Amino acid sequence: MSDAAAPSFRLDDRVALVTGGSRGLGREMVRAFAAAGADVVIASRKLPNCESLAREIEAETGRRALPVACHVGDWAQCDELVEAAYAHFGRVDVLVNNAGMSPLYPSLEELDEALYDKVFAVNLKGAFRLTARVGARMAAGEGGSILNVSSLAAAHPSPMMLPYAAAKAGLNALTRGFAHAFGPRVRVNCIQAGSFLTDISKSWPMDLVKAEHEARFAMKRPGNPEEVVGAALYFASEASSWTTGAILPVDGGMP
């Protein structure tokens, strides 16, 4: 393949909106998109964290970065996020539905309705609303790419993660459904993420996590946050120009 025909992972002068963008995998994707030439919208519940990362991005890359506080479980706030992004940049070319939560609960019987609803709101409802709003604008305009961040729990649910697993399975379904709803101008894909050593992992029993990965995963270890970047850039860029409705496991080789 000649250099001229090689796929481009660049995002020059595009605008990428990332929810859950101030920490963990979202932070790594924001940094990678800006390094690839994109302006970025960094959204999460805590505005100071978004503002801090925005300053870093602008200083390190010269790209513009817009910090926005948003609880994606609230449709009104999702709508406000979309309007803020379009008002500031005039467009969104890449949407990443990365925000998520997987809280602990004492037992399935003791799981209360409020927590159940919150898990579905953050992991599924917000992604639906943002994809519907942004995807429709993309389809009516110059197109774009939407990336959902799911979880291996969607395919391998455990008793202590059932609401989260069900919500992420729903996100997988949204990926395929929205790919048809907004194709061919909009591509919608999904990273089905495994265990990454983000700040959330600091509360994990690491001896058990390491033992499980040694026993069950081909790579024998959890992932480092920056190891999500390759897949994210592929889906965000024209390198994946003929890929849509795909769900890609990035989990270190779960059988």
Residues designated as active site: 164
For 168, the token pair is: 């992420």
Contacts of 233 (CB under 8 A, 6+ apart): 9, 11, 32, 33, 36, 239
Query: Is 10 in contact with 32 (CB distance < 8 Å)?
Result: no
Question: What's the number of CA atoms in the CB half-sphere (13 Å) around residue 112?
Answer: 2
For 182, the token pair is: 């907004």
For 132, the token pair is: 């519907």
Query: Is 107 in contact with 27 (CB distance < 8 Å)?
Result: no
Contacts of 200 (CB under 8 A, 6+ apart): 24
> What is the distance between the alpha carbons of residues 94 and 40, in angstroms, rounded to a whole number?
9
Strands in the chain per DSSP E = 15-19, 39-44, 65-69, 94-97, 144-151, 186-193, 247-250
Quickly tell me which residue has 């709803």 as its tokens: 181
Neighbours of 191 (CB within 10 A): 26
